[in-house]
Amino acid sequence: MAATSSPTSSPDSEEAYVTTHPTVPRSSWLALGAVLLAGFLHTFDVTVVSIAAPSIQDGLGASDASVQWLLAGYSLAFALLLVTAGRLGDAYGRRPLVLWGIIAFTLASALCAAAPNAGVLVAARVLQGLSAALLAPQIAPVIILLFPKERRGAAFGVQAAVIAAATCSGPVLGGLLAHADLFGLGWRAVFLVNLPVGALALLLAAYGLPAERSARGARAPRLDLAGVAVATAGLLLLLVPLVQGRESGRPLLVMPLAVAGVVVLALLVPLQRRAERAGRIPLLAPGLFRDRAFPAGAAVNFLVMGAVASFFLVYVVHLQEGLGFTAKETGFALLPFALSAAFASAASVPLTGRLGRPMLECGALLMALGTGVLLWLTVAQGDGLRPVHILPGLVLCGAGMGLLSPPLYNITLSAMSRGGIGSASGVFSTFGQIGNAIGVAVVGTVFYGLAGGASGSVTAVGWALGCQLTLYVLALALLRLGLPRPAAVAGSAGSAPPAGRRPPVRERLPR
């Protein structure tokens, strides 16, 4: 009887509980499961290919440049389609892009597994990148559109857990599969794992992801194909000399191409403004850059992703080719990074709204300290390096990554309007993936250039770690100068801006 008269069971309190804890339909959770499984494939593949890269190189007789293109080609293709895919999702709904993206990614994975040579494998990786780009910018909008604001924290928490699982399983499973040589498949097994996961994601998406109704009379969006073409040309002109220059034997002769790439990329600024005035959907919407928080967050993402992607490439090659670790030993040696990143990511989600920018700065500082520790111990131990020596540095770097990366995404996108959230998500991720490609190209070129000479792998990886340390220090400086103070940021992407404050960007699609 006491329970009946308690405040928690009164009609008013029950109504308040329902209001603050609205029920989420099962179909929404199934839709979330579909897009998160697709996101799992993307994150898993980036890590697993890095671990398997030496095995792939040995199995196909691939060059050092081909190994760099396995990562850079995927990231470049992913980056160039992201914004367009985000805006298509805003216009036509998320369901068709998710379904076609899962189908294409699964088929591209099968092509990767069957690749007879390095050229076909790089081409299949580019197709994987394009397919993943259809999926990635739909994840945040699905959460925001299908979950009420009061339940988004749980959804974003599940997203962080899935990303953590993909990050943790990539090094270990990639190393085990490459080392085990199941059924004589060798490294090809790391791509075949995608097939059953892709099939499950497709089933969940087909059953749970709703079709969004478009406004009557809505016209098809006018895409900025010229912007995509210019960005593609500029980035290729920039990356090809960096990756291929050393192997061509005449690196200085191809450097003018890199300069030309910078000039072509500079043409994007007036081109994007013209596209916006003409009513087309620009590749990089100028309106997103009117408030300093968004460009600062995107630039930090560029630097951090470039450092992390290049670290996994050069350190894996150093451990396997330089020190003689097996793929399995390499995967377990790098596991502390993934585990600490997973724990820190889980802790960062509920803390984002309360701590804001200081937590991001702490993450960048930990990554810089961890890289410094790795640099010192890697060079000091030389050929006698063992997994226990790199444990402290990896834990610091992973914890920093977990405190920085998920909150950076949420804080940067927190003030975006619902109508433009797909575009903002795509542009933010584009900067990260371009940073990924350029980081692999630049730091990889430094590493391979020194490792192939008299300096050896230890000196080469030392210089590479020095480059990554510089990137983290720059990211820390940008966080302090560019992002707003904690009171001005929201807790999660898509949440309402503080009362009385006008969102910096209010984009509407042309009707």
Arch. (CATH architecture) of 25-210+281-488 = Up-down Bundle (1.20)
Q: Of the given ranges (235-239, 345-349, 456-460), which has the lowest mean pLDDT? A: 345-349
Q: Of the given ranges (31-35, 118-122, 137-141), which has the lowest mean pLDDT? A: 137-141
Residue in the structure block whose two tokens are 């959460």: 143
Check if the beta carbon of residue 155 is closer than 8 Å to that of residue 45: no
Res 288: pLDDT: 73
Q: How far apart are CA 30 and CA 346, in angstroms?
A: 21
Check if the beta carbon of residue 88 is closer than 8 Å to that of residue 214: no
Check if the beta carbon of residue 413 is closer than 8 Å to that of residue 421: yes
**DSSP 8-state secondary structure symbol assigned to residue 41:** H
125-143: buried (b, 16+ CB within 10 Å) or exposed (e) per residue?
A: bbbbbbbbbbbbbbbbbbb
Q: pLDDT tens-digit profile of 84-93?
A: 787 777 777 7
Rounded to two decimals, the pTM is 0.75
Asked whether residue 421 carries a pLDDT value surpassing 80, the answer given is no
Q: How confident is the model at residue 249 (pLDDT cuts 50, 70, 90)?
A: low
Q: How confident is the model at residue 501 (pLDDT cuts 50, 70, 90)?
A: very low
Check if the beta carbon of residue 257 is closer than 8 Å to that of residue 273: no
Q: How far apart are CA 2 and CA 6, in angstroms?
A: 6
**CA proximity to 240, closest of 115, 122, 82:** 122
**For the chain, what are the domain ranges?**
25-210+281-488, 225-280
Res 248: pLDDT: 56
Q: pLDDT tens-digit profile of 265-301?
A: 888 888 888 877 777 767 777 777 776 778 888 899 9
Asked whether residue 207 carries a pLDDT value surpassing 70, the answer given is yes
Mean pLDDT of 72-91: 79
Asked whether residue 439 carries a pLDDT value surpassing 80, the answer given is yes
Res 267: pLDDT: 85
Q: How confident is the model at residue 220 (pLDDT cuts 50, 70, 90)?
A: low
Mean pLDDT of the chain: 78
Three-state secondary structure call for residue 356: coil
Give the DSSP letter string of 365-427.
Answer: HHHHHHHHHHHHHHHHHGGG--HHHHHHHHHHHHHHHHHHHHHHHHHHHTT--GGGHHHHHHH
Q: pLDDT tens-digit profile of 102-137?
A: 999 999 999 999 999 999 999 999 999 999 988 887
Q: How confident is the model at residue 303 (pLDDT cuts 50, 70, 90)?
A: very high
Mean pLDDT of 302-316: 90
Give the DSSP letter string of 63-75.
Answer: -HHHHHHHHHHHH
Q: Of the given ranges (216-230, 268-282, 310-324), which has the lowest mean pLDDT? A: 216-230
- Decide which of 473 and 220 is more confident: 473
Mean pLDDT of 54-82: 84
Q: How confident is the model at residue 216 (pLDDT cuts 50, 70, 90)?
A: very low
Q: Of the given ranges (245-249, 306-310, 426-430), which has the lowest mean pLDDT? A: 245-249
Q: How far apart are CA 57 and CA 254, in angstroms?
A: 25
Side chain identity, residue 286: P
Asked whether residue 73 carries a pLDDT value surpassing 70, the answer given is yes
Res 393: pLDDT: 94
Q: How confident is the model at residue 437 (pLDDT cuts 50, 70, 90)?
A: confident
Asked whether residue 478 carries a pLDDT value surpassing 50, the answer given is yes
Mean pLDDT of 23-45: 81
Q: How far apart are CA 105 and CA 275, in angstroms?
A: 30
- Decide which of 85 and 199 is more confident: 199
Percent of the chain residues past pLDDT 90, beyond the cut: 19
125 Cβ contact list (under 8 Å, min separation 6): 49, 69, 70, 73, 74, 77, 108, 112
Asked whether residue 202 carries a pLDDT value surpassing 70, the answer given is yes
Asked whether residue 307 carries a pLDDT value surpassing 90, the answer given is yes
| Length in residues, the chain | 511
Neighbours of 63 (CB within 10 A): 14
Mean pLDDT of 222-235: 79
Q: How many CA atoms lie within 13 A of 394 on its CB side?
A: 22
Residue in the structure block whose two tokens are 């060798």: 186
Mean pLDDT of 397-408: 88
